[in-house]
Structure 1
């Protein structure tokens, strides 16, 4: 029996078409694609355009500390969204715990599409993948966030939920994010992004 490859790296943008062909083939065979990424949210807020009195620059008072929340999240080829949000940075242990969560909630083979971050390539992460037959990784080319549709989820949240919003505490920020996760599921944003991604690649 041939050894199961646990990870694939397509190296550069010229491999994009081959990457997509590989994904489509696996989906046709019944696999679920899982587009995974991490993002950070701080008390600093996300500045957007706003109205103001002519000649007067609008000012917003911000808290003196830059505490942050980090989210590891994923959207699947069948339109589901998963996330886990915590204080501080995402570490390799958080990645493997998130993999466990995905394996519990998704049946069949999982092909996880992700970037080349160190936490994705750590010994702990690779060891976890090698011991779970249903799980394999596909690494995106460097500097290619446009190939991962979950980046558009993060952009939506920063623009629509956090734009010009300055949380006074981590608790307030987390509450805002909880509402954002509920909202994007309600409007079926993950499914719309997946459908758009598939049409673009045809």
Structure 2
């Protein structure tokens, strides 16, 4: 994640130049689940990972096993079946992850249409993180960035109104199935 610049300055008549170090290293990944249930406060379950340098053989992003572990942890924390609404990220469609999901009756998956990030509430959370904990910050190393991201995610995690706002921003609503209403 490249930190956004909210404000900058330069002498009149000069174009400001903002240099960002480490732009293409891509060593940190975060996966999050925004969890909603009618009548209950929303929850945010997230897992960050610092990857070894990809130039020396490390991964650039989460593997299917990382998503599997996140789903298992979420199921344990929530203690209920999970209905996932996922975007079309290639790892979400991995055959091994699909086999894992098919083998467990407590997971149901629905995929968003292609190229519709505006329907994904987690995209709103990423936007908030970029604007809150990354703006105008020159991170000294990956550990500094990770501390800022964890602090920002904790702030969102304990503010259910923000998580609700991310769902409202998509235009989607929670509905109960006919079986739940009976």
Q: Please say if 1:83 is aligned against 2:46.
A: yes
> Are the equivalent residues in 1 in contact too, given 2:88–2:112 (CA < 8 A)?
yes
C-alpha distance in structure 1 between counterparts of 2:113 and 2:6, whole Å: 30
Aligned residue pairs, count: 159
Listed as ranges, the gaps of 5+ residues in structure 1 are: 1-40
Gaps of 5+ in 2: 52-60, 175-182
The worse-fitting range, judged by mean Cα deviation, of 163-172 and 136-145 is 163-172
Tell whether 2:117 aligns with 1:117.
Answer: no
C-alpha distance in 2, partners of 1:95/1:64? 26
Tell me: CA distance 1:57–1:177, structure 2 relative to 1, closer, same or farther (3 Å). same
Partner in structure 1 of residue 118 of structure 2: 146
Cα shift at 1:113: 0.5
1:55 to 4, 10, 13: 13
Other structure's SS at 1:121 match: coil
Deviations 1:21-62 (A, max 9, x none): xxxxxxxxxxxxxxxxxxxx2xx4223333444334444554
Q: Which has the higher contact order (CA 8 A, sep 6+)?
A: 1
Q: Does 1:192 align with 2:161?
A: no
Could you say which structure has the higher strand fraction?
1
The superposition leaves residues 140-174 of structure 1 with CA deviations (integer Å, 9 ceiling, x where unpaired) of 10001111111100001011211222211000000
Q: Which residue of 1 aligns with 2:57?
A: none
Q: TM-score, normalised by structure 1?
A: 0.70
TM-score, normalised by the number of residues in structure 2:
0.77
SS in 1 for 2:13: coil
**Distance between the aligned counterparts of 2:47 and 2:8, measured in 1?**
31
Aligned counterpart, 1:96 = 68
**What's the C-alpha RMSD, in Å, of the aligned pairs?**
2.3
1:71 to 3, 8, 30: 30
